[in-house]
Amino acid sequence: METRFLRTFLAVVETSSLAQASRRLGITPSAVVQRIRALEAEIGQPLIRRSGQAMRPTPAAAAILADVGRLLAAEEAVKAAASADLETGLLRVGVIHTALTGFLPDLLVELKRSRPGMELYIQPGTSDNLYADVVEGRLDVAIVVQPHFPQPKTLEWFLLRQEPLLLITPAHVEDADPFSVLQQEPLIRYDRNNWGGRIVDLYLRSLGVRPREHYELDSLEAITIMVSRGLGVALIPDWLPPWPEGVRVHRLTLPQAPLRNIGALWLKASHRLPLIKAFVQEAGRPGHAPHETGNDGLNHSHPSPGQREGSTPVGLRPGGGY
């Protein structure tokens, strides 16, 4: 029984989609179907059935699912042990959405050049979900917002970047006093359920400001676009460019602005520790997380509170939570 067939079966069950499974595995949907059929023939039972638009496991598949997961985990552990002193093999990496475009691409280019034996599986997500995946062993390392609660001793944290909060306003808003703006203009709030949004909520509470809230969203790109359209103002972290294309917003610095810390998180006892350390070492090099100037041409230094930094950042695909 080939483990690649088992891995394909598991991908279909987890995604409920032949197309998504094929993208995850880097093969065609027809190859996914062929592998599933070969596995069904070997086991002697149907494993996947279509239910509406989704692919669902049969009772026979549900009965073997846990064993398949343990078998694949054991295979990965054996491979990791065999290459314990080598920077080769598969590394499962979780990444928050704002790091996918502003941080990850240059890092992947450098890793491909300097560590060609490292194979990366990239999983986007929110910080809370990626954190859980690391703790439960589904991911080896994740680039996330620093947790706001104490970390267990089983986890390691490495700071990669610090992003101060800033206030963005539509181009027509002339007021440069952030307190006045927050009291007078409607607020598009960064979702409090996200770890980054929690930082915004605590900052507003510390100021004693109760703004007029119009929307609460978990996408920084969507928030920035809505501010550019004149729907309100927003407190967001100064995340790495590129920003959404064509937006025009004023960026106001804040007094005693809190920081959104971005870093890498992993299990200390991971079987892939050499790969994780190589990945984190490369991610921590200067230039992969610039603080001063981004590739949107904007100055990302931090002037005195209330000072404007300019407008018109460009180019970022929509993303999810953070």
Ranges of beta strands (E only) in 70-173 are: 89-96, 118-125, 141-145, 155-170
Tens digits of residue pLDDT in 198-237: 999 999 999 898 899 989 999 999 999 999 999 999 999 9
Q: Is 319 helix (H, G, I), strand (E, B) or coil?
A: coil
**Type of residue at 252:** L
Pairing of strands 155-170, 259-267: antiparallel
In this structure, the chain runs to a length of 322
Q: Is 34 helix (H, G, I), strand (E, B) or coil?
A: helix
| Per-residue model confidence (pLDDT) at position 46 | 93
Q: Write down the residue that tokens 């106001």 correspond to.
A: 252
Q: Are 305 and 253 in contact (CB under 8 A)?
A: yes
Confidence band, pLDDT 50/70/90 cuts, at residue 2: confident
Long-range contacts of 50-55 (CB under 8 A, 24+ apart): 54/16, 54/17, 55/12, 55/13, 55/16, 55/17, 55/18
The mean pLDDT value for 63-84 works out to 75
For 94-105, give the DSSP string.
EEEHHHHHHTHH
Q: Write down the residue that tokens 């929509």 correspond to.
A: 318
CA 128 to chain centroid, in Å, comes to: 10
| Bigger pLDDT: 87 vs 229 | 229
